[in-house]
Amino acid sequence: MTSKFSPPRPDLIAVANSVATEKNIPADIVFEALEQAIAKAAHSKYGYDIDIAAKIDRKDGSSSIFKRITVVPMGKLDNPDDPEVELEFDPKKMIRVDDANGLKVGEHIDEELLPIDFGRSNFQSVRQIVVSKIRSAEKEKEYAEFEGKEGTIISGIVKRVEYGSVYVDIQGKAEAVIRRNETIPREVLHAGDRVRAVILEVRRDNNGPQVLLSRSHTLFLAKLFEAEIPEVYEGVVEVKAVARDPGSRAKVAVLSHESSIDPVGASVGTKGIRIQNIVSELGGERIDVIEYTANVAALAVDALAPAKVTKVIVDEDAKKIDAIVADDQLSLAIGRHGQNVRLASQLLGWGIDVMSEDQSKEKRQKDVKERTEKFISALDIDDVIAHLLVVEGFTSVEDIALIELSELSSIEGFDEGLAGELQNRAKVYLENLKTKFATEAKAAGIADDLISFDALSQEQILSLGAKGVKSLDDLADLDTSELIEMLGDGIMAQANDIIMKAREHWFAGEPTA
């Protein structure tokens, strides 16, 4: 009787183990590649209309091949995504579960086949499959090496620079790239230079893992603080916020979790040695380190340094700050090309308007005039009553409509009758505005979900509709820069929050972390 097993092949065991050691991958991966290759070669003898599996004995290298029949469900294909799809039953490869003598769906019936003789073409096929499998295993190993390491600083050697993008060899394990927009402006790197960067993203790719790095991201500066400053590494001092103009200037807000430690002093170091190491790494980028505080007004004053701020006016609803400075401090507070105030605004996540004392006075007068005129027009009242409302701190018709009637009537010169009439007129005005807005929004083709989105004003929604943003999904698809471009710099501080709120319905029903 002819044996259905190939003779022992200790040389096969030796080769498989040698390749696994050389490529630093598990031996099972090499054996699985050989088994796939043997099964593929067997198809040339037994035909491609059947399923064939191969098995190599891990002890002596002998191999066997099987005709494989898979147990499948009765009737419809057991597909939870589409239960109505018909099962294309192939009797050469499948057997119904009712005919499988107790086997379960997904299990196999294996029928041994006679071994095959390997000709030259079969050996070539085996070689190709093994090489392909090993390459796939190496790519997967490379990906596993960097998976989950986003936010980590790594060091590597520049291999080449192409069209502004820098390709970096990471300890011979993988090739990473610093794309042009993630490099530090005006920084010149050459092949052979050692460079540090932060891992932004790791992606799977047919040619191996794509490791995307950055030297311009705020995260890189935050991680440099962690690497160079022991107190930050140990968690005693925390980097709360970072704003950067890469290669030029940065502002970093730090917080101490121990009252005995000065977070700014710890970050700067004796004679500035610690911060100088970071400055050198970033090509001379100037770094302002300020102490973080939850008091946004105080934080704004420190963030606008070296300018001296005399007064700040905080609008919490709009997340905006008016910073008033002396005339001789105005250009210093704004900075060259607006850099200082822009970085301060990014650090806080609030809009900041810097103005002189004269400009502040003019702005207050202008605001009073505009609010007075708005109340006169909306409520059909004289300028005396309108001015009283402004002086009492009312900024919008909504304020009047929603306030308690007793508070409105307590204003000097008002009585309950006047207060009630003003509130009624305010409600009628707002209702008319709502009706007009709904009509205009429908005419513009704006969807109901965007019409009812309360993080934007009616004017902003109509403006977005005119620019092609007609639904909540359209808004959610925007990034912050696109939203700011559409609605203006006045929305800069709220742009990210607005977009994240617009995306909430995408994640509704998902479990929270």
Does residue 502 contact residue 476 with C-beta atoms inside 8 Å?
yes
pLDDT recorded at residue 233: 93
The lowest-confidence range among 145-149, 256-260, 509-513 is 509-513
Q: Is the pLDDT of residue 288 over 90?
A: yes
Buried b vs exposed e over 413-441: b needs ≥16 C-beta within 10 Å?
A: ebeeeebeebbebbeebbeeeeeebeeeb
Model confidence at 118, pLDDT cuts 50, 70, 90, reads: low
Q: Is the pLDDT of residue 250 over 50?
A: yes
pLDDT recorded at residue 87: 55
DSSP string, 88-155: ---TTTEEEGGGSTTPPTT-EEEEEE------HHHHHHHHHHHHHHHHHHHHHHHHHHHTT-TT-EEE
CA 25 – CA 16 distance, rounded (Å): 11
Positive or negative CA dihedral for 74, 80, 84, 88? negative
Kind and range of the H or E run holding 55: strand 51-56
Q: How open is the CA angle 63-68-74, to the nearest 5 degrees?
A: 160
Question: Across residues 119-135, what is the average pLDDT?
Answer: 62
Higher pLDDT, residue 433 or 250? 250
DSSP string, 226-264: HHH-HHHHTTSEEEEEEEEETTTEEEEEEEESSTTS-HH
Model confidence at 359, pLDDT cuts 50, 70, 90, reads: confident
pLDDT recorded at residue 117: 66
* Helix 480-487 and helix 458-466, axial crossing angle in degrees, nearest 10: 100
The lowest-confidence range among 115-119, 164-168, 354-358 is 115-119
Does residue 397 contact residue 378 with C-beta atoms inside 8 Å?
yes
Question: Across residues 332-349, what is the average pLDDT?
Answer: 92
pLDDT recorded at residue 85: 47
Q: Is the pLDDT of residue 22 over 80?
A: no
Q: Is the pLDDT of residue 221 over 90?
A: yes
pLDDT recorded at residue 512: 41
- Beta-strand relationship, 320-325 and 210-214: unpaired
Average pLDDT value over all residues in the chain = 84
- pLDDT, tens digit (0-9, with 9 covering 90-100), for 408-436: 888 888 888 888 888 899 899 888 888 88
**pTM for this predicted structure:** 0.62
Tokens representing 386?
């309108």
Q: Is the pLDDT of residue 366 over 50?
A: yes
CA 92 – CA 68 distance, rounded (Å): 9
Structural domains of the chain in order of their starting residue, each with its CATH number = 10-143 (3.30.1480.10), 147-216 (2.40.50.140), 294-374 (3.30.300.20), 375-506 (no CATH)
- Residue entry with tokens 């491609």: 48
Q: Is the pLDDT of residue 110 over 90?
A: no
Q: Select from 85, 87, 55, 86 the least CA-distant residue to 68.
A: 55
- Top-confidence range, 122-126, 231-235, 395-399, 412-416: 231-235
- Phi, psi (deg, nearest 5) at residue 104: -95, 160
pLDDT recorded at residue 296: 93
Would residue 323 be called left, alpha or beta, if left means φ above 0 and alpha means ψ between -120 and 50 degrees? beta
CA 279 – CA 260 distance, rounded (Å): 26
- pLDDT, tens digit (0-9, with 9 covering 90-100), for 48-93: 888 888 888 888 877 788 888 888 887 644 454 554 445 577 887 8
pLDDT recorded at residue 3: 47
Does residue 285 contact residue 279 with C-beta atoms inside 8 Å?
yes
pLDDT recorded at residue 267: 93
